[in-house]
Amino acid sequence: MPEGYAIQVEGLTKFYGSFQALFGVDLAIREGEIYGFLGPNGSGKTTTIRCLLDLISPASGLLRVGGLDPQKNSKAVRQMTGYLPGELHLDERMNVKSLVKFLSQLRKNPASFTYACQLAEELELPLDTKIKNLSKGNKQKVGIVQALMHHPRILMLDEPTGGLDPMMRQLVLKIISEAQDEGTTVFFSSHVISEVEQIADRVGIIRKGKIASEITTDELFHLNLRRVVVRFDSPVRLDRLSGIENAEHLSENATSTRHTFNLTGSMRDFINRMAELPVRELDTERPSLEDVFMRLYEDDENGRD
């Protein structure tokens, strides 16, 4: 494994019976990097993570986690890794405190229990409540605590903010960023573009078991679509709304005072043009993940490197 990489994947393939889930996936994630892994349901995100942890066996390919082959060194890989699965299953009969203590004893790391309690307090997670009585969001917090409690060298998180309210999502992202500050490498999947832009250094887009694109978050931001709705005081001729850099005009009604655009990259030319027109209101929306996927996939199919 090349020096400086925490995770390396080369030519990873995986079959479930006759169904092929992964088609030669290649990834190289640097030490101390936060790497966002994006893709629609069924694209291969979870399968890739499970192969890296030797929870399932690949058909072929080279895998290295912390310089080790997970198939030959499964125990050592799991010792250095914190893992939050997308579907978290916990012993419903235990309370949070007992479960965390049990996991700490399994890792033979007493200090992890103290840190786990600190994390639980920060996340407002009730330690004395039984798992079966927790809300979906609080169960997710238990998963986050158990993944981080032993200060892992590598974090693999499958949809870490699922089921959390907006304020708690921000807190979890802060905790993940703090783990990176301590030297932890983070490999996480998400469906929320704003989360990826906020904390990831690089982003891999997987589609139908293949890596469609790999870009930095700066490139993702400039690639993103913005939906802009402009309302004018009076109808505007269509020729005055054409030829704007990075703007696609979606409205068809020439007599309408409401027009919709898709924007990519810089909004400078668009704003300058709108300043010349009788704008009453201007609203922008963040792109959906589907919009970004479609744009990346179209670029990939058209030969984008």
Sequence-ordered strand ranges (E) for the chain: 5-16, 19-30, 34-38, 60-65, 81-84, 154-158, 185-189, 202-207, 210-216, 225-232, 247-249, 258-264, 279-285
The answer to whether the CB of 129 falls within 8 A of the CB of 169 is no
Three-state secondary-structure class, residue 59: coil
CA angle 228, 294, 271 (to 5 degrees): 20
Q: How far apart are CA 2 and CA 251, in angstroms?
A: 51
The torsion defined by the Cα of 36, 167, 133 and 146, in degrees rounded to 10, comes to 40
Name 157's bridge partners. Answer: 84, 188
Mind listing the domains of the chain with CATH numbers?
Answer: 5-220 (3.40.50.300), 225-285 (3.30.70)
Q: What integer pLDDT is reported at residue 250 of this predicted model? A: 85
Q: Is 108 left (phi over 0), alpha (psi -120 to 50) or beta?
A: left
The series of mean pLDDT values per 10 residues for the chain, 305 residues long, is 84 96 96 91 92 96 96 95 92 94 86 90 96 95 95 95 92 96 94 81 90 80 75 89 88 80 84 93 74 60 48
Q: What integer pLDDT is reported at residue 196 of this predicted model? A: 82
Token pair, residue 199, equals 């904390």
Q: What integer pLDDT is reported at residue 305 of this predicted model? A: 40
The torsion defined by the Cα of 251, 39, 35 and 83, in degrees rounded to 10, comes to 140
Q: What integer pLDDT is reported at residue 56 of this predicted model? A: 96
Token pair, residue 9, equals 């994947």
Q: Residue ranges of the alpha helices (H) in 84-156?
A: 96-106, 110-122, 136-148
Q: What integer pLDDT is reported at residue 49 of this predicted model? A: 95
